[in-house]
Amino acid sequence: MDEEKLAETKAQLLQLREEILAESHRVYAESQTLGKDGVPDIGDMSSNSYNQEVLMNLSEAQRSRVRDIDAALERIDEGVYGLCVRCEEEISPRRLEVRPFSRYCIDCKTEVEKFGE
């Protein structure tokens, strides 16, 4: 991958990271206000508990995505971006366009998902 494309990818990853962090902060702030708008009945408490759990799981997914982005940024800095961390073969450019923080080529991703790692 040429230097210009790497710079574009790095900028894209940094922007995506900022968007996720901003959304995560917004979701967290909203989760803190659930159920604090009066005297809840048992249905309200159940609904609020479920909503908080969904929001917190979303937040965990966002944290996981940020970790993936940080790892991709680290691979850019190390000069190994675009190489599968498992087999060290090149990840297809199309895959990196769609998912710029990909760690694995398609074959290795399938194996990891199938058997774990």
pLDDT in tens, the chain (117 residues): 899 999 999 999 999 999 988 887 777 677 666 555 555 556 555 656 666 666 566 677 888 899 999 999 999 999 999 999 999 999 999 999 999 999 999 999 999 999 876
Domains in the chain (CATH in brackets) are 1-81 (1.20.120.910), 82-117 (no CATH)
pLDDT at residue 57 in the model: 63
In 3D space, the residue among 103, 94, 96 whose CA is nearest the CA of residue 74 turns out to be 103
- Specify whether the CB–CB gap between 105 and 91 falls below 8 A: yes
- Strand-pair partners of 90: 83
- Specify whether the CB–CB gap between 59 and 28 falls below 8 A: yes
Upper half-sphere CA count for residue 20 (Cβ side, 13 Å): 19
**Tokens standing for 69?**
């982005």
- Residue by residue, DSSP assigns 1-68 as --HHHHHHHHHHHHHHHHHHHHHHHHHHHHHHHTT-SS---HHHHHHHHHHHHHHHHHHHHHHHHHHH
What does the radius of gyration of the chain's CA atoms come to, in whole angstroms?
Answer: 19
- Specify whether the CB–CB gap between 72 and 66 falls below 8 A: no
